[in-house]
Structure formats: structure tokens, C-alpha cells
Structure 1
């Protein structure tokens, strides 16, 4: 699975969340989930799916701030990655970005650090949590939320469970969040979670995605993705000075090369003789036409 011996590294699962943009309803996903009293004063159950992630007071929710944070999350992660590498030069990363119910991204990051670079979970958490970045669009300083978590694991032990969890995240982010949230809501009229997503979409279409962006005419996909621009999955790339980190070894460059080779194999060699079209005998065609024009035996005239 790894291109180097696993015992030469320490592995961590780093979870980074977005800050708060307003209080939202807390609705459990299943009957087995622990129930907590919501800020609205009600202890919700899974049947209240129409409220999951919906602001308590939509008119006071910072929609513009949330979509702008989604837009700048890539810049923030890049600064966080650099900050970690300033401390541990051997650090490599595998990142999965997942949507929270409120429509904001959070990151699950597998971090690999050489044992020669002394590292610890608390030090890694501080380095990540205190990272900030200035937006390339408007200069706003962005940072992570309070819910930052670091867990160390062994690749041969609970590491398998961690990788399984990341694959579960991948399956989740591929789903249509709105469709899942609206499951069972048909026939109940207007949905509050749907109105929340519509408000996020309107906010994303009103902000600039780059310094040159004109929102009214911009065709960037970030305006259709609540401001987000980053890939669902990313990993450390191979460079002249770094080995990179790929679970399968299939980097984008390798995949592009394989596609080119596959397409080249489909094309016939330039020197190969082209088949000549068959020449039809006029007499044979005329006889065939006369035969097909005759009524079949037993056919009704």
C-alpha cells in the first residue's frame, strides 16, 4: 500500500473543521445516535431530517461568510500544509474533503511523518489549528474552527479502520446532499433544508471566486458548489525532492500517460493497408431485387 516501509513513519488522522457562521439545528442521523437538546429547545429525533444543518435564525446566518470560507479553504489548507512542513519536513498528506450538513467543507487528513522527525499528536494539532491564511480574493484572514482533532494510529492495526473510514467519507461526499436531506419529505410542501441550500447557492453566485471574477458572467464551478473549488481527494505529489504519497501509485500524470498509450493502441499503424470497398456485381443486384419483389408463398395479396 505504501511505497516505503510503514514502520519508518508515524501516522496521524487530522480532522479540520470550519468555524461557526451561525447556530444550526442538531438532528441525529439514526435512532441509535445520542440525542442532545438543540439550541431551539427541542430534542430532535431522526424524523426531523428537514431541520438537519438548518440555521436556527436564517435571517441572521452568515451565508456570505460561509461560501467565502469554502472558496478560501484551499488556500487555508495550503498554508496549513506549509506550516506543518516547516516543523516536520518529511510530512506527506492524503486529504478527503467532506460536506457537513450545514453546507460547509471539513477535511480528514492522513499525515505521514518520518520517525527521524520527532512528532506528537498535540504538537501536530497546535500547528494545524493555529494556521491562518489571507484570501487571495479580498484579503480576508481565514482560519479553522474550534473542532480540530488528531489521532495517531498504526498502519497494521487501527490504521485499516481509519482508511475504511476515509473510504466511507468518499462514498458520502459523492452523494447528492440535498436529495438525501429531502428523503421522505415529498408531499410535505416547502422544505426548510431546501431553502437553506438555495440561500447558500444564491450567496455563492454573488461572491467573486477570483480577483478578476465578475459574478454575473463567471462560469466557474465554484458558484455552483457553495463556493468550493478544491478536489474531493488530493495527495502529496511526487517532485524532484519528494517521493510523494499515493495509495495506488496512480498519480494524475501516470493516468494521463496510460490514457495516451491506450488511445495510441487503438489507432491502426500508418503503414497498414486500408481495406478496399467490395465491388458489387450489377447483374447479381438486379436478380436480388427481382427476387425480393416477388410475393412470398402464402402471403395475402
Structure 2
């Protein structure tokens, strides 16, 4: 089952809104899942209802809209057709919630992940409006890590012998081994051991937890999480400047580019583009995984994606990224707790690997790896919550509590200062307030274009999403005069039937895809 049906309680959790009408079965109180499902399945228009909710069938908490959908002629403004939701099953339109987090809505997160894969891969292989020539551009896959804020339990496998990393059962190294004669093997000042000989399994709950909670620098970590987007911005600037200096050293001519105002300006002949994903690790600190591609500059079309000039390649891009990762650093604004501010830098482990069509790191592997993290948030840390306020903060923050509770407490404590109030705003994200997936403008297509293409395909597949609505006609404009009617399925039976139908459809699609792949 794709949705968590326990969150839908008919007759108890029906949000109110314009046009909201409670389900008849809900008016008498709680209705059993089997009874409500049987009632729905025996209605004369059951299959019409399934087709009506198909777009949101797998969603855990769909949005329900009511009102009117109008089709208007773009040229004359004439109303060509109008469809009222009153004439549809349930009198409402069901739309998926669109949440990207797998822990909130697995179905919508799956759609988001597939879109993220297409977006990221198009920037490496072409397609979706991106020229196929980008496959020959120099590109690297980079992992930027955070510095250490204290010793945590880790699982390190130095040599993999498994065939599938997703089900890795290779023997890990000891967590933090120390010889008895090593001075660092002595217990810390709080009496906690600084040695761990355990070979942790992948699901060990101790992974990511500090060996000593009292020694860990929680304030520095939440400040680093909060400052990570700014550190990334400065890093992209440093990469660009290093590439420009390299182009100048190679004697590559600057490009005379015509601006929109008709003036001519001279610009560097190379320009990096990127797509990146933020990963929240088990120790609750953000890491960045990024694809950085090297492009050239077109003299008359600033938006064109062209290859870089000859003479500058992937080795120069690797050198630029490594230089930026080592050189970029800044100090935050002062805080009463730390008047000198916190020094923000990348960690020592920065991995830069070239991407090639037939090498170990390919465009498909990179896109799949990044898309996987695009649907995750703080779940790996053991903390999941919505935005926190003063009424609920005591439920999540504790300066003497667990690892996540101490991080939330650090955000709330530091955020009490006037210049650091944003830390309280992002306490539920353990200080991180950036986007989990971003890209430069020229790197690839956009999520909106992918969503619009999916909507157009769905309308073409079903014939008409709304009555009398022309498909693919650029002369018409579809205007939705809709208002919010509620969220969630009306009954647990509706959720059960819709999610089951969606799961069966997904299974058929996966089988068909596997058969097509095997035949190819």
C-alpha cells in the first residue's frame, strides 16, 4: 500500500473549506475500512470514480478542489466550454499533494524522484530540450562533506566484494580502534570511552551518534548546516574564477557577446553549470553531491549551450573544484555565545570524479544516485517534524537529551539572538534552510516543464481530462476557477481502493519496463 491509511479518519479529520461537503457515510461517525470500501465499490459509477481520481490515486493526502474549469479562445477571449465539478464524481477534482519527501507521501515522492532523474540526466546526456552535444562536455561528480564536530560511530568498508551496494554485506572495519598505549584511547573528560571496536552493521542505530554527547559541538554543527548554502555559493564563484584564470593562462580569447540592450561586452570563454542535491547524513549534518559541467559561451545567444573551447578539459575542471573546496572559507557574524563567529569550511573528504559515457561514473548512475537523495530529508537522523514554535519546542528540544534533541535545542538557543532568528525558523531541519535540489539556469530543463509535459501526456492518454476540452491546441487557454475544498481521502475505503488501483498500475508499468529492457 502506497499510503498510510491510519492518517485518514473519516468523520474526524475533514478539513473545512469553500465547497466542502462531508461524505454521507462520515456523518454518522467512524466507518470501518471494509464497509466504506464496499460502499464505494458497489456504486454504479465506481469505475468512473477510479478514472476520475487516477491522477492522485497513489497520493497519501490528495488536495480536493471544487469550482469550474473553463476553456477560452486565446485570440478572441470567447468561452468555448465550461465544466463544473458538481457534474463530476464526488463533486470535486483530486490533485496529488506533490510532496517530495518519501516519508510523507511515497507516491508523490516517487514522481518527484523520476522527474529529478530526468532533469539531472538531461544535463549530462541531452534530451528534454537540452542538446545531445552536452554528452561530450567535460563533467565531474563531486561530493562535498562537512568538517568534524566530534567523534561519531561510523561504518567503513575499505574493500567491497559485494555485487550490489544496496544490499552490501561486506565486513566493515572497526569503528574507532585505538591501541591501549595510544594517548587518544583514554576516556574523555566526561568519562566516556573514545574507542569503539565494533564492526557496525548498516542498520545499527548507533551509527552517526557521538561517542560522547557532551563533547560534541552542537552549536557549531547547526551553524554550519545553516551556512552551507552560502558556502556552496562562494564555492561556485571560486570554481568560475579559477576556470577563467586557467583560460587566460592558456591564451583562450575572450568572447565578444551582444547584450539585449545592443551593447557588446567581453566575457570569459568558459562557464560552469551544475546540478546539486543535499543529503542529510546520519550524524545530522548536510553533505552536497553535485554534477558540474563545463560549457562554452555563444557570442550572440547567451542561453545557448555550446562546448567549451579546445585546450581546456576535464583535468582543468577537476583542478578548479579541488582548489575551490580547499580555499573557500568565511566567518559568520558574531554571536554572544561566540563573539568571534564560527569558521565555515568544507571537510577534508572532498571527492571529485570525472563522468564519462563508458567509465565507472556514468550519467545514468550519477543521475540515479542524486535523484535518490532528492526525496529524503531528516529521516536518517531520527528526527522528523514540521516547523516548530514555542508551543511544541519542548517536545523536540533537550540540551541533555538525544543527539537530534540537542541539535534542535542548539538551534532554538542560538536563535534567541536577534540576528540569528532564522535558526529557530529552521530548527525542524536542524539548522539547514536551503533547497535539497538546485541547479544553475543553463544546466538542464525545469521541473515545471516536466510537469507540464506529464499533464499533456495524461490528457492525450485519457482523451480529455475535462469535458469538451481541446487537446494540444495552442489557440485555447484552460482556466481553472477552483477553490480549496479539503485535503485527504474522504474515507479510508476510498484511500484503500484508489491506492490499490495505483499500486497495480505501477506494477504493470514496472513489468512492462523490465520486459522492454530485457528485449533491448
* TM-score where L is the length of structure 2: 0.41
CA offset digits 1:15-50 (Å, max 9, x no partner): 100000011012479661441112233223327722
The runs of 5 or more residues in structure 2 that have no matched partner are: 1-121, 157-165, 177-194, 244-269, 296-307, 336-340, 385-400, 457-475, 483-520
Cα offset for 1:85?
1.1
Contact preservation (8 Å) 2:284, 2:378: no
Contact preservation (8 Å) 1:92, 1:111: yes
Q: Does 1:91 align with 2:272?
A: yes
Out of 25, 28, 32, the position equivalent to 2:169 is 32
| Structure 1 CA distance for aligned equivalents of residues 378 and 226 of structure 2 | 20
| Structure 1 CA distance for aligned equivalents of residues 378 and 276 of structure 2 | 18
Aligned length: 240
Contact preservation (8 Å) 1:204, 1:223: yes
CA offset digits 1:33-91 (Å, max 9, x no partner): 44111223322332772211010111110011100100111111110011011123500
Out of 155, 159, 176, the position equivalent to 2:379 is 176
| Structure 2 CA distance for aligned equivalents of residues 219 and 55 of structure 1 | 23
Aligned pairs for 1:45-56 within 5 A:
45-46=200-201, 49-56=204-211
Contact preservation (8 Å) 1:96, 1:166: yes
Cα offset for 1:207?
1.8
- The equivalent of 2:415 in structure 1 is 208
| Structure 1 CA distance for aligned equivalents of residues 276 and 416 of structure 2 | 22
Partner-residue secondary structure (3-state), 2:402 = helix
The runs of 5 or more residues in structure 1 that have no matched partner are: 182-193, 238-243, 269-301
| Structure 1 CA distance for aligned equivalents of residues 403 and 211 of structure 2 | 11
| Structure 2 CA distance for aligned equivalents of residues 229 and 47 of structure 1 | 28
Cα offset for 1:170?
2.1
Partner-residue secondary structure (3-state), 1:265 = strand
Out of 150, 153, 169, the position equivalent to 1:22 is 150
| Structure 2 CA distance for aligned equivalents of residues 266 and 56 of structure 1 | 56
Aligned pairs for 1:134-149 within 5 A:
134-135=331-332, 139-149=341-351
CA offset digits 1:240-263 (Å, max 9, x no partner): xxxx222446379x99xx9xxx99
Q: Single out whichever of 18-27 and 29-38 deviates more from structure 2.
A: 29-38
Cα offset for 1:136?
5.0
Compared CA separation, residues 209 and 232, structure 1 to 2 (3 A): farther
Cα offset for 1:125?
1.6
Compared CA separation, residues 247 and 20, structure 1 to 2 (3 A): same
Contact preservation (8 Å) 1:75, 1:133: no
| Structure 1 CA distance for aligned equivalents of residues 217 and 281 of structure 2 | 16
| Structure 2 CA distance for aligned equivalents of residues 175 and 51 of structure 1 | 16
Q: Does 1:106 align with 2:287?
A: yes
- The equivalent of 2:433 in structure 1 is 229
| Structure 1 CA distance for aligned equivalents of residues 433 and 417 of structure 2 | 11
Cα offset for 1:121?
1.9
Cα offset for 1:133?
2.5
- The equivalent of 2:326 in structure 1 is 129
Compared CA separation, residues 32 and 143, structure 1 to 2 (3 A): same
Compared CA separation, residues 69 and 264, structure 1 to 2 (3 A): same
Highest RCO, 1 vs 2 (Cα 8 Å, sep ≥ 6): 2
Contact preservation (8 Å) 2:279, 2:377: no
* TM-score where L is the length of structure 1: 0.69
User: Alignment RMSD, CA only?
Assistant: 3.4
Q: Single out whichever of 115-124 and 71-80 deviates more from structure 2.
A: 115-124
Partner-residue secondary structure (3-state), 2:363 = helix
Cα offset for 1:211?
5.9
Compared CA separation, residues 121 and 69, structure 1 to 2 (3 A): same
- The equivalent of 2:91 in structure 1 is none
